[in-house]
């Protein structure tokens, strides 16, 4: 991952633009669009395999950014990671809405959508909080630990995890919910 001045400046510029969008600045939304539309279009297109659908989803992505910019926290994630997550989730929602005949590929294509930067877990592991989180995750039972890591840091859906583990969806949700409760308890101590 490049962390030179250009990368840091680009991140700062995008972070500042998102803060301005949160304040209702339409020109800042245009800046965010100019800086990110090519990448976010790539994310939606890779999942949907249809340019028209990807363009529609991209429009929805920027509406979501406009409405939710105040929820972006630069201390929790990079701006491009936050934006790619929105794009990925919107594309998956559209793929599901299209049903089995929509798009040319299944939802599995969403797994291949990744930023070329370190994933969320790798980024977190560089801080003291991350070491604490990692220790608490390691204290969980293996099934819960891997499910939480895959869902929250790997971006996999609960449905996908349940299918891969050959268990009912409700059981997978319970495993994750219990694991998250234990994780919260560990982090609060």
Q: Are residues 58 and 82 in the same domain?
A: yes
Q: Are residues 97 and 135 in the same domain?
A: no
Q: Could you report the per-residue pLDDT of 107-159, keeping only the tens digit for each?
A: 555 555 544 555 554 554 455 676 788 889 899 999 999 998 888 777 778 88
Torsions phi, psi of 113, nearest 5? -80, 115
Q: Are residues 101 and 184 in the same domain?
A: no
Residue whose entry in the numeric block shows the structure tokens 């633009």: 17
Of the two residues 94 and 110, the one the predictor is more confident about is: 94
Q: Are residues 75 and 165 in the same domain?
A: no
- The CATH code of the domain that includes 155 is 1.10.10.10
- The CATH code of the domain that includes 54 is 1.10.1740.10
How many domains does the chain fold into? 2
How confident is residue 78, by pLDDT bands cut at 50, 70 and 90?
A: confident
99: left (phi over 0), alpha (psi -120 to 50) or beta: left
Q: Could you report the per-residue pLDDT of 12-69, keeping only the tens digit for each?
A: 999 999 999 999 999 999 999 999 999 999 889 888 888 999 999 999 999 999 999 9
Q: Are residues 3 and 76 in the same domain?
A: yes
Of the two residues 43 and 1, the one the predictor is more confident about is: 43
Q: Are residues 113 and 146 in the same domain?
A: no
Give the torsion through C-alpha atoms of 78, 84, 89, 91, to 10 deg: 170
The pLDDT score that the predictor gives to residue 47 is 86
How confident is residue 76, by pLDDT bands cut at 50, 70 and 90?
A: confident
How confident is residue 1, by pLDDT bands cut at 50, 70 and 90?
A: very low
Of the two residues 152 and 86, the one the predictor is more confident about is: 86
Of the two residues 175 and 113, the one the predictor is more confident about is: 175
pLDDT above 50 for 79: yes
| pTM higher than 0.75 | no
Q: Which of 91, 117, 143 marks a domain boundary?
A: 117
Q: Are residues 10 and 94 in the same domain?
A: yes
Q: Find the domain containing 79 and state its range.
A: 1-117
Q: Are residues 110 and 122 in the same domain?
A: no
pLDDT above 70 for 70: yes
Q: Which of 29, 119, 49 is nearest to 41 (CA)?
A: 49
In whole angstroms, what is the distance from residue 141 CA to residue 60 CA? Answer: 39
Give the torsion through C-alpha atoms of 38, 39, 44, 45, to 10 deg: 60
Q: Which of 28, 8, 31 is nearest to 19 (CA)?
A: 28
59 close to 88: Cβ distance less than 8 angstroms? no
Q: Which of 95, 117, 139 marks a domain boundary?
A: 117
């Amino acid at each position: 991952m490049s962390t030179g001045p250009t990368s840091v400046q680009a991140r700062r510029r995008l972070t500042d633009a998102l803060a301005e969008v949160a304040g209702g600045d339409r020109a800042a939304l245009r800046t965010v669009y100019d800086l990110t539309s090519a990448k976010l279009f790539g994310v939606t297109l890779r999942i949907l395999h249809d340019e028209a659908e990807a363009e529609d989803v991209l429009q929805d992505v920027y509406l979501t950014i406009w409405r939710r910019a105040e929820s972006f926290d630069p201390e929790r994630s990079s701006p491009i990671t936050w934006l790619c997550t929105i794009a990925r989730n919107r594309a998956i929602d559209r793929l599901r809405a299209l049903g089995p005949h929509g798009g040319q590929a299944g939802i599995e294509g969403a797994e291949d959508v990744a930023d070329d930067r370190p994933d969320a877990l790798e980024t977190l592991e560089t801080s003291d909080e991350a070491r604490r989180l990692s220790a608490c995750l390691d204290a969980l039972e293996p099934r819960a630990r891997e499910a939480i890591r895959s869902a929250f840091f790997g971006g996999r859906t609960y449905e996908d995890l349940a299918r891969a583990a050959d268990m009912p969806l409700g059981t997978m949700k319970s495993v994750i919910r219990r694991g998250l409760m234990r994780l919260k308890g560990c982090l609060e101590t």
